[in-house]
């Protein structure tokens, strides 16, 4: 299919009310670049396209519309071969221009190759591109805080030096998740003030909002906020 055909399919699924709502959630984007397609509809469309040759569409970067980027991300999730999936992901990452697309996709192929994906995450953390760094953080958060957990992850993420809001927010999010899943490993980062004050407090805020943390622990975490 051509990009024009795919774009027509996106506009056929347009919800203008949703566009107005969603554009407020991604303030870094020009509203005119948002079509207004709900995520379930995007996922369903990606499945419809999965049996077709999408090479041309995937090669056409940068895309014009937000939903084209999201569709691209969902198509990457369908690539089963790890090396192919990783290569296409790394080619796509520099073109991601918002937090929502960044957080949208997590290929199953990555979970089947934890060591190689972990090494890629460490590379991404060193990128000069905001959303590549964020993708490294959210991928570590999604794939390495349970069965594949290693304490080094927290050290690596805490060492990321960035003033970018969307990077710092991702770091806070990861530490909030770590407090829910790896409390003993994460707590010292708060006690020892190993995060900057803003990220430290945001991590506590997000942890306190979690349903997986007990009321007693939430009360204690609130006492660790920094002024």
In terms of Cβ atoms closer than 10 Å to its own Cβ (0-12, 13-18, 19+), residue 144 is buried
pLDDT exceeds cutoff 90 at 98: yes
- Which among 164, 185, 184, 178 is positioned nearest to 206, based on CA atoms? 178
* pTM: predicted TM-score of the whole model, two decimal places: 0.95
Q: Can the peptide bond before residue 31 be classed as cis, meaning omega within 30 degrees of 0?
A: no
Could you read off the pLDDT of 131-165 as tens digits, one per residue?
999 999 999 999 999 999 999 999 999 999 999 99
Segment 126-135 shows an average pLDDT of 98
- Which among 172, 79, 176 is positioned nearest to 134, based on CA atoms? 172
DSSP string, 19-61: HHHHHTT-TTS-GGG-----HHHHHHHHHHHTTS--HHHHHS-
Could you read off the pLDDT of 171-204 as tens digits, one per residue?
999 999 999 999 999 999 999 999 999 999 999 9
């Amino acid at each position: 299919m051509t990009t024009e055909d795919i774009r027509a399919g996106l506009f056929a699924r347009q919800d203008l009310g949703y566009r107005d709502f969603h554009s407020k959630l991604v303030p870094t984007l020009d509203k005119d670049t948002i079509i207004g397609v709900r995520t379930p509809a995007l996922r369903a469309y990606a499945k419809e396209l999965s049996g077709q040759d999408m090479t041309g569409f995937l090669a056409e970067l940068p895309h014009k519309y937000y939903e084209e980027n999201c569709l691209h991300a969902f198509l990457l999730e369908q690539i089963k071969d790890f090396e192919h999936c990783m290569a296409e992901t790394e080619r796509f990452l520099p073109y991601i221009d918002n937090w929502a697309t960044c957080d949208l996709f997590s290929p199953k192929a990555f979970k089947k190759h934890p060591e190689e994906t972990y090494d890629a995450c460490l590379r991404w953390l060193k990128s000069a591109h905001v959303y590549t760094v964020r993708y490294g953080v959210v991928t570590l958060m999604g794939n390495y805080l349970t069965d594949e957990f290693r304490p080094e992850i927290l050290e690596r993420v805490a060492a990321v030096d960035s003033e970018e809001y969307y990077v710092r927010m991702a770091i806070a999010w990861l530490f909030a998740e770590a407090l829910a899943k790896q409390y003993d490993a994460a707590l010292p980062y708060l006690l020892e003030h190993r995060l900057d004050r803003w990220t430290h407090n945001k991590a506590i805020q997000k942890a306190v909002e979690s349903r997986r943390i007990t009321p007693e622990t939430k009360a204690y975490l609130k006492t660790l906020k920094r002024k």
